[in-house]
Structure 1
Amino acid sequence: MRRRLTVAAAQMSGLMALTLLKLGDPAARNWWRTGRAAAAAAEDRATMSWMYAQEAYQLYYGGDLHGAVELAVRARQLSGGLPCVGPALAAPLEARSHARLGRREETARALREGGAALERLDSELRTGSAFGYSESQLRFHSGNAWTHLGETGRARAEQARALELYPLDDHTDRAFIGLDQAMCYSIDGDPVAAAAHATAIIVSLPEEHRSALIIYQARELAARVPDARSLPEGKLLREVLALPAGEG
């Protein structure tokens, strides 16, 4: 009973950390530490693996790509080969980090390992909940990785499949996928379409779902589409994001 309560405490700490992460609150780090300590006390490898995998996202969105890779690898090691969510969650995050660092071979390898880890999960764990991982998420994360590598053909295929799988009321991940689609337009040399698509994504998103992470990614996109700054579509995107016209 005590072990189950300790595992539950670790999971609750992880949920609190995830909530703060989505709000852009750095206090999430404190909850990761609390959760890791509880999982270690329970000697629960699956929970420890999950905790490190989720914390890797904190580093990823904070720009510490090398740190994100390190935690993702640690998450997979801690699983000890168990068919648990940690490795399935960690490998695609590792791939996205490698992609942003321009490491194509490492990206492809991590995506393959993520797919294999997903296949090993029991059906009840193949879900988009905080304690599961689904094919829709894998497709989203794969598309994001290929986008960062500039391989828009692969990226678009993954994005299309992800949108087929995600329910329409999953506003957050669908918005992230839409912003990746906008980035693909930019990479393919169409800044007008990139800015217009990103604007449409943000405007169509219910206000309560416009999280700090989504706005951050949209602003990052706006900064990376300099050719659109002088165009109406680019100016409108910056207005929607409450950015000064010349900021980037």
Structure 2
Amino acid sequence: MVTGMSDGDTTFGGTFATGDLARGASAGGVGTGGLYAFDVAAGDPAFGWQPGTNDFTPGTAVVRFVNDTGAPIVDPTVRYEVWILNDQPRANDVAFGYSTDGVTFTPVPALTVTSVEAADATPAWTMTPETITLTGVTIPAAGTLALAFSGDDVSGGGNRDEFAIDDIVVSFPGCGDGLLQPGEACDDGNDAAGDGCDAACTVEHGFACAGEPSACASSCGDGVVASDEGCDDGDTADGDGCDAT
């Protein structure tokens, strides 16, 4: 859903072939206000906009995620990239907010990215990665999480830079995601047993795990024959039939 365009606001599920909402693909350097598929890097198109007097100043693009896991999601983490082509002598911003009801949005000022007012001598797309864990937020089963990306003029005058959002990811704590969460002794990025970190994210007997994502290796010398050991006599001394490996 997009608001703040001279051709009017949209709703979820709309299809557009002409005008502000369908400016097409571009590498940047455009002057006509509207929505674009900007090639921010080789083979990497991103959802973007060229602000204009009556386009996206202010404006907001909202993407909506549906929780189809069948259970509530608690404390989701949001990751995305902000891309800016600073080719004009004007500063605009990209702000972030979120909502679980699609009506009331909570802004996160710390994630606001503003383009430099002075144009770059050799303009090129630059990227700022953003990550936030929405602590205390619960998305009920079949509920939605709406993410809002807003923009407006900040300073300067004349034409405006180009902006894009890319690689939006919403994840949530769980064993097998490669992130150590409270209550997990390890997390190696999968929920398979036998590799040192089992499906409950506990360290399997005979292994030691460290890092994020966890790297697990057998604990040679603990007297337990792990899945990747041929023997284990309780020590790491050579010459007794079971060596140090």
CA radius of gyration, larger in: 2
TM-score when normalising by structure 1: 0.28
More relative contact order, 1 or 2 (CA 8 Å, 6+ apart):
2
Q: Which has the higher helix share?
A: 1
